Amino acid sequence: MKKLFDVDGNIWIKKDNRGFIGKGRIELLQNIQIYGSISKAAKQMKMSYKAAWDSVDIMNKLSNKPLVTKVTGGVGGGGTVITAYAKELIKAYGEVSALYHNYFETLSNSFNANLLDDTFEEPVFCRLKGVIHNKLNINDNYELAIKTKSNQLLTAIESKKFVLEKALEVGDEINFLIETNTIVLTKSQNTNSARNILEGKVLKITDDGINSTIKIDCGSGDIIYAKVTTSSCIKLNIEVGNTVFASFKAYSINII
């Protein structure tokens, strides 16, 4: 599977719970070293002199040793320089940043591996009705148990903000959608990572030579559609009249 998204970020080193050095301040130190001047370094970075001076002041105050200091007169004239300790910090920050971004590469791979598919497909939804049977507060989300008209229990996960804005309570009748391309069909009730399983009978199979759209009656007027490849449909030996089990994750449900 190709990588769809990148997890990214910048590292900040803190001291006494205050921002000490980050990518921008490291760049500022490097430019002060190059140009021998805070004002020239600031100009190079398109930032105000005050912002640059404030950053230097904060770094010097938080550091165990001075990072930026002035030299006066002598051979080559005066100016502003960074200290040996500042150079050590720049080197240490670079090494930590490399480790940090390697870690983000691992996170990116993990994030993309958890996505259902990397191919574009316009989502199609099944529309159902149900009643909120239970409501469980978990961190920033609510787990909502939904009893369908066919008396089957499903679990949806919605944000706390969404549930509070919608004023959803146990006993409320709701309409909800299920994405057809997130439904996995089996002919036996197996256990997998999906939170939800709907049992039903196959009413109709429409095949275009590549994909099969399967219409399923779950009882009491609950009709859902599942889309599988033609080869999968043949392999599973799904036929009209078969009992099938449609499994899907809690996030596949959208309450409307």
Mean pLDDT for 155-174 is 92
Q: What is the pLDDT of residue 120?
A: 43
Q: Number of folded domains in the chain?
A: 2
Q: Are residues 87 and 178 in the same domain?
A: no
Answer whether 0.75 is exceeded by the pTM: no
Is 211 part of any domain?
Answer: yes
Q: Are residues 99 and 131 in the same domain?
A: no
The mean pLDDT of the chain is 87
Confidence of residue 245 (pLDDT cuts 50, 70, 90): very high
pLDDT, one tens digit per residue, over 122-162 is: 447 888 999 999 999 988 899 999 999 999 999 999 998 89
Is 244 part of any domain?
Answer: yes
Q: Are residues 186 and 143 in the same domain?
A: yes
Is 197 part of any domain?
Answer: yes
Q: Are residues 39 and 138 in the same domain?
A: no
End position of a domain, from candidates 89, 113, 137: 113
> Would you say residue 116 has pLDDT above 60?
no
Is 169 part of any domain?
Answer: yes
Q: Are residues 144 and 249 in the same domain?
A: yes
Q: What is the pLDDT of residue 115?
A: 62
Mean pLDDT for 188-197 is 77
Mean pLDDT for 35-42 is 92
Range of the domain at 170: 125-255
Is 4 part of any domain?
Answer: no
Q: What is the pLDDT of residue 132?
A: 95
Q: Which 3-state string (H, E, C) describes the chain? A: CCCCCCCCCCCCEEECCEEEECHHHHHHHHHHHHHCCHHHHHHHCCCCHHHHHHHHHHHHHHCCCCCEEEECCCCCCCEEEECHHHHHHHHHHHHHHHHHHHHHHHHHHHHHHCCCCCCCCCCCEEEEEEEEEEEEEECCEEEEEEEECCCCEEEEEEEHHHHHHHCCCCCCEEEEEEEHHHCEEECCCCCCCCCEEEEEEEEEEEECCCEEEEEEECCCCCEEEEEEEHHHHHHHCCCCCCEEEEEECHHHEEEC
> Would you say residue 76 has pLDDT above 80?
no
Is 152 part of any domain?
Answer: yes
Q: What is the pLDDT of residue 1?
A: 46
Name which residue leads in pLDDT, 251 or 73.
251
Identify the CATH number of the domain in which residue 244 sits. 2.40.50.100
End position of a domain, from candidates 80, 113, 146: 113
Is 118 part of any domain?
Answer: no
Identify the CATH number of the domain in which residue 66 sits. 1.10.10.10
